């Protein structure tokens, strides 16, 4: 189990490091802290893998330091933890703690006669500070803005997603105890806890990145950490257009949908770009509107001046105090919103969101996990049914067609690119069946020699969508007509 180790900890070398003047003297570090600081063994642990060498995917070399570097680091580390009192160090602010570590490390290096250039010394110092105060081996990954996801599957295996593709890296933790300590450090920053007794935890990094931890005994191969990196510069609709995720007229239609206050559901699989698309659509909200966002982990970054951001809360250790998405959406209605934005609809809050959409909060939006617009609508229906509302199916469907105007479908394609593959409007009920109509669809024409998908966003020949009158009301009729005309007809 985490915290325990099969190999005996390397005994720290005798207190060779001096620093008598340091206020934080002599160890009284907790077992946990010491476990975390246990030096990386010079011989790196063997990677457990059952796959043959030839089927092993390429490993992205993020950490290119030599074994010699780790030998020196281990030695300096040993001397450091023998010298400082970590519990006192924890009471200092980050800057002072860094200074404290810096002074001691510099002294250790000089006493042990380690030959190092200034830049190597700086890099070692940075590394040690990251281990003691920060997120250890995760730091170089967190620093990179091109990484979308970081997936740590136990101490020895870390994957990243870059440009839509998953790559294995050579980043590894000393052992599961160090990884678990870093997980605990992350979740404790937002007042949560993860351990054997509560092994699942959602949290956020200080920079806003979304974090999920699932620990042993539920995760069989060690603590499993998933981070959706927060992009400082959120992608805008303009960027999605440049990436080819949407065509120019398609982007224009989405702009009009956002601006003329259609109620929108954004549907897609995991990591398909739903939140990004939702965020980019909110750019077209009028600055005069009062917008309330409800999220499980705050990811949206609205540019409007009048925004209230709400976040759900998991239950505490006694199992009480949870505030659900439904509680938030219900409460929103008493906060005089113009629009309600729900980060992800996954349960009975679907009912309250539909009600809000139906009762004068036009332009409300939300995302949900589904593979097609049709599936998205039936998921809304089942979320309401499973939420314990004993309403006949027809009534629920009437509510759905009365409230949702447009479903936008996002997908991560097999070449790693993310695309908006359809803009679909909800037309009405025919008998008991919800009728939908595609305005635009992405049609795949094949694949080029680099394995990139070839295709085009094509119009479905709709001259007057159902939200035409709405566009007219907002004086965007002309723009909508032009955008519809400009959609690639694909020879239809």
**Chain residues that interact with Mg ion, rule: CB under 5 A:** 274-275
- β-bridge mates for residue 422, sequence order: 409, 441
In the block, residue with structure tokens 């915290």: 3
Going by DSSP bridges, is the β-strand pair 158-162/147-153 parallel, antiparallel, or unpaired? antiparallel
- Give the Cα separation of 141 and 73 in Å (integer): 20
What is the nearest approach in angstroms of Mg ion to the Cβ of residue 272? 9
CA 155 to chain centre: 21
Q: Is the Cβ of residue 108 or residue 225 nearer to ligand ATP in the bound state?
A: 225
What is the nearest approach in angstroms of Mg ion to the Cβ of residue 99? 39
In the block, residue with structure tokens 């035409």: 468
Per-residue interface string for the shown chain with ligand ATP, residues 408-437, x marking contact by CB under 6 A: ----------x-------------------
- Give the Cα separation of 108 and 98 in Å (integer): 15
- Residue 255 binding: pick among Mg ion, ligand ATP, none (C-beta 5-8 Å cut-off by kind): none
Q: Is the Cβ of residue 171 or residue 307 nearer to Mg ion in the bound state?
A: 307
Say which DSSP state 219 is in.
Answer: S
Count how many residues are written for the chain: 492
Q: Which long-range contacts (CB under 8 A, 24 or more apart) does 50-59 make?
A: 57/167, 57/168, 58/167, 58/168, 59/167, 59/168, 59/169, 59/170
Q: Which of residues 205-234 bind ligand ATP (CB under 6 A)?
A: 228, 231
- Residue 272 binding: pick among ligand ATP, Mg ion, none (C-beta 5-8 Å cut-off by kind): ligand ATP
- Residue 418 binding: pick among ligand ATP, Mg ion, none (C-beta 5-8 Å cut-off by kind): ligand ATP
Q: Which residues have CB under 8 Å from 483's CB, separation 6+? A: 249, 252, 253, 256
- Residue 271 binding: pick among ligand ATP, Mg ion, none (C-beta 5-8 Å cut-off by kind): ligand ATP
The three-state (H, E, C) secondary structure of 144-187, written as one string: CCCEEEEEEECCCCEEEEECCEEEEECCCCCCHHHHHHHHHHHH
What is the nearest approach in angstroms of ligand ATP to the Cβ of residue 144? 12
Q: Which residues have CB under 8 Å from 91's CB, separation 6+? A: none
- Residue 235 binding: pick among Mg ion, ligand ATP, none (C-beta 5-8 Å cut-off by kind): ligand ATP
Chosen residue from 212, 224, 276, 411 binding ligand ATP by CB under 6 A: 276
Report which secondary-structure segment, H or E, holds 59. Answer: strand 59-60
What is the nearest approach in angstroms of ligand ATP to the Cβ of residue 239? 7
Per-residue interface string for the shown chain with ligand ATP, residues 234-273, x marking contact by CB under 6 A: -x----x--x-x----------------------x-xxxx
Please tell me whether residue 116 binds ligand ATP under the rule CB under 6 A. Answer: no
- Residue 114 binding: pick among Mg ion, ligand ATP, none (C-beta 5-8 Å cut-off by kind): none
Q: Which of residues 123-162 bind ligand ATP (CB under 6 A)?
A: 148
Q: Is the Cβ of residue 268 or residue 455 nearer to Mg ion in the bound state?
A: 268
Size of the site for ligand ATP (CB under 6 A): 16
Q: Is the Cβ of residue 181 or residue 276 nearer to ligand ATP in the bound state?
A: 276
What is the nearest approach in angstroms of ligand ATP to the Cβ of residue 324? 18
189, 133 Cβ separation under 8 angstroms:
no
In the block, residue with structure tokens 């580390």: 77
Give residues in contact with ligand ATP (CB under 6 A): 148, 228, 231, 235, 240, 243, 245, 268, 270-276, 418
């Amino acid at each position: 189990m985490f915290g325990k180790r099969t190999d005996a900890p390397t005994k720290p070398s005798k207190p060779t490091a001096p620093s008598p003047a340091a206020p934080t003297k002599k160890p009284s570090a907790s077992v946990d802290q010491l476990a975390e600081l246990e030096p990386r063994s010079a011989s790196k642990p063997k990677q457990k893998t059952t796959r043959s060498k030839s089927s092993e995917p390429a490993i992205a070399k993020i950490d290119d330091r030599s074994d010699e570097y780790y030998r020196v680091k281990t030695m300096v580390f040993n001397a450091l933890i023998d010298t400082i009192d970590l519990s006192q160090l924890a009471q200092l602010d980050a800057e002072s703690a860094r200074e404290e570590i810096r002074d001691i490390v510099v002294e250790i290096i000089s006493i042990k006669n380690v030959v190092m250039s200034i830049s190597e010394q700086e890099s070692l110092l940075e590394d040690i500070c990251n281990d003691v105060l920060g997120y250890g081996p995760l730091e170089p990954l967190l620093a990179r803005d091109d990484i979308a996801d970081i997936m740590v599957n136990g101490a020895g295996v870390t994957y990243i997603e870059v440009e839509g593709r998953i790559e294995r890296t050579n980043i590894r933790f000393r052992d599961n105890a160090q990884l678990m300590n870093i997980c605990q450090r992350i979740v404790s920053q937002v007042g949560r806890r993860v351990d054997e007794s509560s092994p699942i935890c959602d949290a956020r990094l200080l920079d806003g990145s979304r974090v999920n931890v699932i620990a042993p005994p539920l995760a069989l191969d060690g603590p499993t950490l998933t981070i959706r990196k927060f992009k400082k510069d959120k992608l805008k609709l303009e960027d999605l257009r440049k990436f080819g995720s949407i065509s120019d007229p398609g982007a224009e239609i989405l702009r009009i949908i956002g601006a003329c206050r259609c109620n929108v559901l954004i549907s897609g699989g995991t990591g398909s770009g739903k939140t990004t698309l939702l965020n980019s659509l909110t750019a077209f909200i009028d600055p005069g509107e009062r917008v309330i966002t409800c999220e499980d982990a705050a990811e949206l970054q609205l540019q409007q001046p009048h925004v209230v951001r709400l976040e759900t809360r998991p239950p505490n250790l006694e199992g009480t105090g949870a505030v659900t998405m439904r509680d938030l959406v219900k409460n929103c209605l008493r906060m005089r919103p113009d629009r309600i934005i729900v980060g992800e609809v996954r349960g009975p809050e679907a009912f309250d969101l539909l009600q809000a959409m139906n009762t004068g909060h036009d332009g409300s939006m939300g995302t949900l996990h589904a593979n097609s617009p049709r599936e998205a609508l039936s998921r809304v229906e089942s979320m309401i049914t499973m939420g314990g509302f004993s309403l006949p199916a027809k009534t629920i469907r009437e509510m759905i067609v009365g409230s949702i105007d447009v479903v936008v479908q996002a997908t991560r394609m097999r070449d790693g690119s993310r695309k908006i593959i359809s803009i679909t409007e909800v037309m009405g009920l025919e008998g008991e069946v919800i009728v939908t109509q595609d305005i635009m669809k992405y049609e795949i024409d094949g694949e080029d020699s680099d394995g990139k998908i070839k295709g085009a966003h094509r119009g479905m020949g709709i001259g007057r969508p159902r939200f035409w009158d709405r566009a007219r009301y907002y004086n965007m009729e002309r723009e909508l007509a032009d955008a519809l005309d400009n959609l690639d007809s694909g020879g239809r």
